[in-house]
Structure 1
Amino acid sequence: MKKRKIELAVLSNIHLGAESCQADALLAYLSSISPKILVLNGRVLETEPVVQAALPSRHFRIFKKLFAMASAGTKIYYVYSNQDAVVRIFKDKSPGNVFFTKNLFLDLDGKKAWFTHGDFLQSPLFSKKWVQGLGTGRLRVLAGMIRFKNKIWNAGGKRPSQTLLHAEADYADRLKKDRTLRQTAVKLAAGRGCEYLICGAPHHLSNLWLETNMGKCQYLSAGDWVQHLTALEYNFKRWKSYRYSEDKLSPFFADEDLKQMNEEEILSKNLKTGISMIG
């Protein structure tokens, strides 16, 4: 079966190493597409203690597939958050054609796209209405302060307090906060001259246009692969939401390149000294 050739695909929260990881479905999806660019927007691996243990073989096949795609010419950008373990694991090694960054800016047919995990947007501060009245300069300062706070929490082995607060909020309150967060995020993106904002932190599929006093911007999220098996695809100058449950054209099959690769080849041939960091 021919693979679908697309310009760009975005996946969020695949959590390799977790029992809930949908590895078989992910391998089927990756085997069905041939993207020029693949963006992994946060949480490729589960927490570091899990990573230190041996990954299940079907999870390791995802790494093999990603390395094979990179070797075939696909540019893979990993947009990581402060809690991601992948960056620590590949601190001194990086697969060729794979890049790590906290913020990714791409030109898509003349329009600027900003890819961010967006974990800093989950702070209770960003859900306040008064924040929407701040200029983009002060919003950037506030975002930087929250990132620094999260980094300190993570260094001490603790999760940021806003994660707990966000989880305990009831559904109606959470929807209200999400709307406020989207407006603030879009304002920040529009102030940077972006027409697309692709955010990984909201764990639900999103594709909508929002307008602020700084301008209009298309707000997108690939959702959560573990929970919903969703992704984003960009092709022919437009964004499309992908749902694995509705895909009737992508039966599971194993690529020949996966059959020809083993763990030793991945670790020795596909990794090179020096991490590729951008942004």
Structure 2
Amino acid sequence: MSKREIDIAIISDVHLGTYGCHAKELLKYLKSIKPKMLILNGDIIDIWQFSKSYFPEDHTKVIRRILKFVTDGVPVYYLTGNHDEMLRKFADFNMGGFQLLNKLVLNLDGKKAWVFHGDVFDVTMQHSKWLAKLGAVGYDTLILINSMTNWCLTKMGKKKYSFSQKIKASVKEAVKFINQFEQTAAELAIEKGYSYVICGHIHHPEIREIVTDKGKVTYLNSGDWVESLTALEFDKGEWSIYHYDASLLTKQDDDLTDIEDLNNMLDVKGLFEKFKQELA
């Protein structure tokens, strides 16, 4: 299978370990690319909702695929988010080509890119974490109901429908929050002299130039793998948003079994359950 060669791939908000995670689709995407660098911009593993009873094989395969990038010599940066904030105490951990960080600054053709998850701009996260966690459970439940609804719609030959995206688009406060998030990130990046500011967290893929009275910056968001199924890609000096399209991937791609999928590989589920218990 030929892979697309790109300079940088950025994914965020995968939420492995939850019902809403589209791990199978993400796995197909990761198998289809050959990046020179992979950035995991937070909320990759949902430690908030991590359950020993739910961590399917597809979720494990995503982690194995990421580890395979490391063994293949591809630098992998794991930037912590709010759902995997337990990892923040281990920031600056470095193991070969794998680094665990809270933020990352890249030099791209002479321009600086500031990469971080973005939950620092979320007032709910800063002052009412219990409310944010409750909302996360409700969100995951909504996604599960939505998945069942879409299964029925597909069987009837109708288009899929996203409850949460419709709510975000129609609720004035949700739209306002997204706009404020983007504006705050942009203003801070301009003050620091960055050309790009790259976030996740709000599950809203975006690339746009934001201008203030102090300057301008390109704001980027990688979206998520719960609803949007998107990634950011940087290649030949240009940024783009990748949107997952099942029709572009063949049955051969779907059936492809790599070395990391063998049964004698690392028990990832057991590893993270043990890790969570040690931090509790």
Q: TM-score, normalised by structure 1?
A: 0.73
Instruction: Give 1:264 shift.
Output: 3.8
Residue in 2 aligned with 1:182?
A: 182
**Pairwise CA distance, 1:14:** 0.6
CA distance in 1 between counterparts of 2:81 and 2:60 reads 22
Measure how far apart 1:82 and its partner are.
4.0
1:5 aligns with 2:5: yes
CA contact (8 A) 2:92 2:101 kept: no
- Which residue in the other structure is 1:229 paired with? 229
2:196–2:220 contact (8 Å) kept in structure 1: yes
* Cα pair 1:31 1:253 within 8 Å, conserved: no
Distance 2:95 2:264 in 1: 15
Q: Which residue of 1 aligns with 2:272?
A: none
Q: Distance in 1 between matches of 2:192 and 2:86?
A: 28
Query: What CA distance in whole angstroms lies between the structure 2 residues aligned with 1:222 and 1:211?
Result: 20
Letter in 2 for 1:210: I
Structure ranking higher on relative contact order (CA contacts 8 Å, 6+ apart): 1
Q: Give every structure 1 segment of 4 or more consecutive aligned residues whose post-TM-superposition deviation is greater than 4 Å.
A: 51-54, 88-95, 167-170
Alignment check: 8 A CA contact 2:37 2:75 kept: yes
Task: Tell me the distance in 2 between the aligned counterparts of 1:86 and 1:202.
Answer: 19
Give the whole-Å Cα distance in 1 for the aligned partners of 2:237 and 2:53. Answer: 42
Q: Distance in 2 between matches of 1:214 and 1:101?
A: 29
Identity of aligned residues (%): 33
- Whether the aligned pair in 1 keeps the contact of 2:210 and 2:216 (CA below 8 Å) is yes
1:30, CA displacement in angstroms? 0.4
Shift of 1:214: 2.2
- Aligned partner of 1:45 in structure 2 is 45
Give the aligned partner of residue 138 of structure 1.
none
**Structure 2 residues without counterparts, runs of 5 or longer:** 140-166, 270-280
CA displacement at 1:179 relative to structure 2:
2.1
Q: Which deviates more, 41-50 or 31-40?
A: 41-50
Q: Which amino acid aligns with 2:227?
A: Q
In 2, the alpha carbon distance for the partners of 1:117 and 1:43 equals 8
Q: Secondary structure at the match of 2:201?
A: coil
1:262 is aligned with what amino acid?
N
Is the 1:44–1:86 Cα contact (8 Å) retained in structure 2? no
Unaligned runs of 5+ in 1: 125-145, 268-279
The match for 1:270 is none
Amino acid at match of 2:96: G
- Change in CA separation of 1:203 and 1:47 when aligned onto 2, cut-off 3 Å: same
Contact 2:81 2:201 in 1 (8 A): no
State the Cα deviation string for residues 90-122 of structure 1 (Å, max 9, x = none): 799865311111111111111100111111212
1:118 aligns with 2:130: no
Structure 1: how far apart are the matches of 2:8 and 2:39? 8
Q: How far, CA to CA, are the matches of 1:57 and 1:98 in structure 2?
A: 23
Counterpart of 2:36 in structure 1 is 36
Structure-1 separation of matches of 2:92 and 2:103: 20
TM-score (normalised: structure 2): 0.73
Secondary structure, in 3 states, of the residue corresponding to 2:254?
Answer: coil
> Which residue does the alignment assign to 1:262?
264
- Residue 248 of structure 2 corresponds to which residue in structure 1? 248
Secondary structure in structure 2 of the residue aligned to 1:50:
coil
Aligned with 1:252: secondary structure?
Answer: helix
TM-superposed CA distance for 1:253, in Å, is 4.3
**Could you tell me how far apart the structure 2 residues matched to 1:22 and 1:30 are?**
12
For the residues of structure 2 that align with 1:91 and 1:216, how far apart are their CA atoms? 30
Q: Aligned-pair distance for 1:55?
A: 2.5
Aligned residues: 237
2:277 paired residue number = none
Counterpart of 1:212 in structure 2 is 212
Judge conservation of contact 2:61–2:261 (CA < 8 Å) in 1: no
Give the SS at the match of 1:31: helix
1:77 and 2:69 equivalent?
A: no
- CA deviation profile, 1:199-248 (whole Å, cap 9, x unmatched): 11221110100111221100110112111111110000010110012762
Conservation of the 8 A alpha-carbon contact between 1:197 and 1:218: yes
Q: Distance in 2 between the 1:225 and 1:208 partners?
A: 21
